[in-house]
């Protein structure tokens, strides 16, 4: 059996003059997983997260990282916090420097990196979260979503293996929330282990591959979100309601309207199940549309503008902050800024063409997700990569590969 990356074994903790915040909690986090701690306010989620990188020390029980119990001397904690990055619920607690650049540099400087390495780390981290050009800005002039990304960049600059987020979308507007969760998907697709706490069952259901349900300092259940959130008695005990999509699916199943199977985690999966029930397959009306794929790190805007002018694509979406910056810079209007892959698949299924703009490891993530969908549904969808040099030479024509 593979050793979990993080383990919490029968941990208890109580704040001064307060009842137990954690009462015998045990949990295991696998490397590379996307895990959500779910529960109402006061369930103990934040307290448990603070145990994971040594900010709090258990009253009893043990926390282990890579199979080894945590040590609480200064040197051990410094190394632990480099490997397990913690992003607080309120970014104002975490951002302490007068400029964005100085704040993101704080961690690398304290790790003792030379100045050139610090500059590279800061530049890479700000680029990853889409904040290049913000280096000299005072953090207090930024929006809530931008502050959250500065806090994330400050952690990324130390290159942790694990990222821990306490209520990552708290206080953010819906668009900023979707951008942050998309960034967490991008980080996970790059191989990092990501752990979040949330009371938002809708967010946890569609995002996580593992859920730990908590209430009053105890773990009520752990497992895949579709299993945990299908147990209405457990959710009632945690004072939560099931995700709307799962609730609707279970009600249709009870009435015999839809065949029982793996619960859908998206509108796309739900529509597939209904169409399969009605027609025996998920039909593409008049033939499937094409999904074009653009890597914004390797492409200029000319090829996209030609596709638009020729009427080749009817819908355009961008995934990730760098891709959205690219679209803004190239003055490309976006139809979709979140849930992009599923929305483009849905359009392909009714014969319409779409373009997905993204960057880095998310390019392969898009290919993989569409490939998995094609294999599962039996509906083959074409993905055509776009390639254009940023500065094409004279006489060179840039076309889809």
* CB half-sphere exposure, 97, CA atoms < 13 A: 16
Which part of the chain is CATH 3.40.50.300?
Answer: 6-244
Sheet holding 84-87, edge to edge: 84-87, 162-166, 193-198, 34-38, 210-215, 218-223
Which residue reads 């009435």 in tokens? 255
Please list the pLDDT of the chain residue by residue as tens digits (401 residues). 567 899 999 999 999 988 899 999 999 999 999 999 999 988 999 999 999 999 999 999 999 999 999 999 999 998 999 899 999 989 898 999 999 999 999 999 988 889 999 999 999 898 888 788 899 999 989 988 889 889 999 999 999 999 999 998 887 887 778 778 888 888 887 789 999 999 999 889 989 999 999 999 999 999 999 899 988 899 999 999 999 888 888 888 888 888 777 788 888 778 877 877 776 654 445 578 999 999 988 888 888 888 888 889 999 999 877 888 889 889 999 998 878 898 899 899 888 999 999 987 788 889 988 998 888 888 889 999 986 543 333 333 333 44
**Correct CATH for 290-386 of 3.20.20, 3.40.50, 1.10.1060, 3.40.1010:** 3.40.1010
Which part of the chain is CATH 3.40.1010?
Answer: 290-386
Instruction: Give the count of beta carbons closer than 10 Å to the beta carbon of residue 102.
Output: 16
Compute CA distances 52 → 1, 9, 166, 195, whole Å.
22, 12, 12, 10
Third-level CATH fold of 6-244: Rossmann fold (3.40.50)
For the whole model, what pTM was predicted? 0.80
192 within 8 A of 223, measured Cβ to Cβ: no
The CA R_g of the chain, rounded to the nearest whole Å, is: 23
């Amino acid at each position: 059996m593979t050793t979990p990356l993080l383990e919490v074994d029968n941990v208890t903790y109580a704040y001064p003059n307060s009842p137990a915040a954690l009462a015998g909690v045990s949990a295991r986090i696998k490397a590379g997983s996307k895990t959500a701690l779910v529960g109402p306010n006061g369930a103990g989620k934040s307290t448990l997260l603070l145990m994971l990188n040594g900010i709090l020390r258990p009253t009893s029980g043990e926390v282990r990282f890579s199979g080894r119990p945590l040590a609480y001397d200064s040197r051990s904690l410094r190394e632990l916090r480099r490997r397990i990055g913690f992003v607080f619920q309120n970014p104002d607690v975490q951002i302490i420097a007068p400029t964005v650049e100085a704040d993101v540099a704080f961690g690398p400087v304290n790790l003792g990196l030379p100045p050139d390495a610090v500059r590279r780390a800061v530049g890479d981290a700000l680029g990853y979260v889409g904040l290049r050009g913000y280096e000299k800005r005072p953090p207090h002039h930024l929006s809530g979503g931008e502050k959250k990304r500065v806090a994330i960049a400050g952690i990324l600059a130390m290159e942790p293996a694990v990222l821990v987020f306490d209520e990552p979308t708290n206080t953010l507007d819906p668009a900023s929330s979707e951008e942050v969760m998309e960034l967490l998907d991008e980080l996970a697709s790059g191989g990092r282990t990501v752990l979040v706490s949330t009371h938002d069952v809708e967010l946890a259901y569609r995002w996580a591959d593992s859920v730990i349900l908590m209430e009053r300092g105890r773990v009520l259940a752990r497992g895949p979100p579709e299993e945990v959130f299908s147990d209405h008695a457990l959710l009632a005990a945690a004072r939560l309601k099931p995700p709307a999509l799962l609730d609707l699916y279970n009600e249709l199943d009870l009435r015999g309207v839809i065949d029982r199977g793996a619960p859908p985690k998206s509108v796309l999966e739900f529509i597939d199940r209904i169409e399969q029930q009605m027609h025996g397959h998920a039909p593409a009306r008049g033939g499937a549309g094409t999904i074009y794929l653009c890597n914004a790190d390797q492409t200029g805007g000319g090829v996209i503008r030609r596709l638009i002018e020729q009427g080749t694509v009817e819908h355009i979406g961008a995934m990730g902050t760098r891709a959205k910056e690219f679209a803004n810079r190239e003055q490309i209007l976006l139809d979709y800024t979140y849930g992009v892959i599923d929305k483009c698949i849905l359009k392909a299924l009714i014969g319409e063409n779409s373009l997905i703009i993204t960057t880095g490891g998310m390019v392969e993530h898009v290919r993989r997700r569409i490939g998995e969908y094609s294999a599962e549904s039996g509906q083959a969808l074409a993905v055509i990569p776009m390639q254009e040099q940023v500065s094409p030479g004279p006489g060179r024509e840039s076309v889809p590969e």
